[in-house]
Amino acid sequence: QVQLVESGGGLVQPGGSLRLSCAASGSISRINVMGWYRQATGEERQLVAIMSRGGSTNYADSVKDRFTVSRDEDKNTVQLQMNNLKPDDTAVYYCNAVGVWTTTTFYNGQYWGKGTLVTVSS
């Protein structure tokens, strides 16, 4: 079965940096789109940054000058480098994958990781 596992969350002071990683496991041949969403307490889950196989990216306006998404398509991993973090960045960050081909199946929907908590506070 396909699974997404995030790592790298934690507590950081405002202005600091964190790097999140996500690894997709399973008999995966390719993934169309991978990236990150986040959900703050009491709010809906929102897009942070995603990247397609062709390298196209889509960032939330609130993070595009501070965050960078990258992928290793051969390893089926995606990273999120977060710089100049703000308290408003505090949220659970979820890895996301859309359009996953395995050796036997294709799923055109979305997979989600369980999330990793990022807390930006003094």
pLDDT digit string, tens, across residues 50-90: 999 999 999 999 999 999 999 999 999 999 999 999 999 99
pLDDT at 46 (0 to 100): 98
Tokens 């929102």 found at: 46
CA separation for the pair 119, 88 (Å, rounded): 9
Which segments within 14-115 are labelled E, that is strand? Answer: 18-25, 28-39, 46-52, 57-59, 67-72, 77-82, 91-102, 106-112
pLDDT in the model for residue 45: 98
The predicted structure's pLDDT at residue 1: 83
Q: What does the pLDDT read at residue 85? A: 98
Q: How confident is the model at residue 30 (pLDDT cuts 50, 70, 90)?
A: very high
**Mean pLDDT of all residues belonging to the chain:** 96
Confidence at 103, pLDDT banded by 50, 70, 90: confident
pLDDT value at position 116? 98
